[in-house]
Amino acid sequence: MFKSVLSTGAVFAALMALFVYAANDWKLPWAEPHPLDIPWCEPHDVALENCETCNPKLARGGTRVSRLREPAEGECPNTVLRIDLAEGAAERLGLRFYEVRPREVQETLEANAETRWPPDKYARVAPRIAGVVREVKAVIGRTVSAGDVLALLDSPAFGVAKSDYLQALSVLSLRQKTYDTEKALAPRITTARQMMEAETAFEEAKLAVQGAEQKLAALGLSAQEIGRLREKRDASPELEVRAPFGGIVVEASAVPGETAGPDRPIFSVADAERLWLSIDVYERDLPRIRIDQKVFFHVEGLPGRKFPGRVAAVGSEIDNRSRTAKAYADVKNVQGLLRANMFGRAEIRIREPEAKILVPQEAVQNDGDCLIVFVSPSKDTFLPRKIEVGTVYANGYEVLGGLAAGENIVTTGSFQLKTEILRGQIGAG
């Protein structure tokens, strides 16, 4: 009996000692406080704030989020926080970093484009008076100079026009002789009336010659050709169809024996040294297009080739279906590789290259209040920072404010850090 009571008392005493030990934060009642006088994890012999086992804030990856101060009015609340990672946590999370520094960038716009013959160097050539094609002297692809004969026609109407001119010259010669004679006889023999009639007839003959010359010029004869006609007195119906300027014959439909006239062009000539691009520009991008901006044209069938040019005109009408307007560029046809109606891509240089601070797009996060990046002043410390962005490029954002050259920011892994400041710890959910 005595042994049973003694055993029960021993058990009771042990339970009481355990209760006191637990009530004393698992420390012996006579144990001295830790010399640093900070919360201490006795089982793991480490400061409680650094114990990943006993400190719930460090339960996942050793991350701590602390508030540095209260946010000012209008300040993004998350930018007053600091994230501290335990040693090795950054590597486990796969964080990657980017050093902020100015980079040479240029602003460009790409759009679909199609080549066209230049409007001031492309002509559909037709005879200016009806006739029958007698001989064709030019074929497609032939290079011609200004004034080269493309075809010969027989045109009775043209022969009549030349005859009318030669007849007007003959009448003028006769009227001039009469006028000169009357003038020499006046006032002894010729009356004032006769003198006036002779002068009037002479002036009418001069006007008739001028009218005949103008008609021939309208039919395509130059002043030199009219002069030769006057000398040779040639009234043949032969009509020469000539190239208006130097270039390449890009169309030829003249056939000997067929009738040709002003309403049916039989040749097309183009100066292929330069071509025009017809560029489809969306209406939202039109304010960025300016005359004389640099353009580079790319064709899929000519890889690695760039054809330089400049914006020459911007259309004033929006297509109802595509919501695009036309911009036109004058492009140099390098080595004659371009042809009309070729499709490709036009790269319009909106701004010339200049130094700007850029950050990769994956580094920028939206926390619901502002755009932020995570600056890393030291290896395992991260500070959310609000930034102001400008132009959006294919590989990043232009930073107008909030970052300085030389700072390091997080790229890969910035989303996990945003999750941490929003949820309290990485991986929470």
Buried b (16+ CB within 10 A) or exposed e, 63-97: bbbeeeeeeeeeebbbbbbebebeeebbeebebee
Collapsing DSSP states into helix, strand and coil, what is residue 57? Answer: helix
> CA 313, CA 329: separation in Å to the nearest integer?
7
pTM, full prediction: 0.58
User: Among residues 357, 358, 356, 364, which one has the least CA distance to residue 412?
Assistant: 364
Task: Tell me if 170 sits within 8 A of 230, measured CB to CB.
Answer: no
Q: CA gyration radius for the chain?
A: 47
What was the pLDDT predicted at 61? 53
- Token pair listed for 359: 């950050």
Question: Tokens 């006028």 — which residue?
Answer: 179
Phi-psi region of 304 (alpha: psi -120 to 50; beta: other; left: phi over 0): left
Farthest CA pair distance, the chain: 187
Handedness of CA 35, 37, 42, 47 (dihedral sign): negative
The backbone torsions φ and ψ at residue 109, rounded to the nearest 5 degrees and listed phi first, read -130, 130
What was the pLDDT predicted at 366? 92
- Token pair listed for 270: 């183009």
Task: Tell me if 420 sits within 8 A of 403, measured CB to CB.
Answer: no
What is the identity of the amino acid at 15? Answer: L
What was the pLDDT predicted at 390? 86
Domain ranges of the chain: 1-32, 33-61, 64-105+355-423, 113-119+271-353, 156-236
- Token pair listed for 93: 């999370």
The CATH fold assigned to 64-105+355-423 is: 2.40.420
Residue 310: how many CB atoms within 10 A of its CB? 15
Task: Tell me if 275 sits within 8 A of 116, measured CB to CB.
Answer: yes
Phi-psi region of 402 (alpha: psi -120 to 50; beta: other; left: phi over 0): left
The CATH fold assigned to 156-236 is: Helix Hairpins (1.10.287)
User: Among residues 346, 291, 331, 328, which one has the least CA distance to residue 109?
Assistant: 346
> CA 245, CA 147: separation in Å to the nearest integer?
7
Handedness of CA 366, 369, 370, 372 (dihedral sign): negative
The CATH fold assigned to 113-119+271-353 is: Elongation Factor Tu (Ef-tu); domain 3 (2.40.30)
Q: Is 53 exposed, middle or buried (0-12, 13-18, 19+ CB in 10 A)?
A: exposed
Question: For each successive 10 residues of the chain (429 residues), what is the average pLDDT?
Answer: 57 62 54 58 66 56 78 88 86 90 85 93 92 93 93 92 91 88 75 83 90 89 87 88 93 93 93 94 92 94 92 92 94 92 94 85 91 92 92 82 92 90 54
What is the DSSP-derived secondary structure letter of residue 226? H
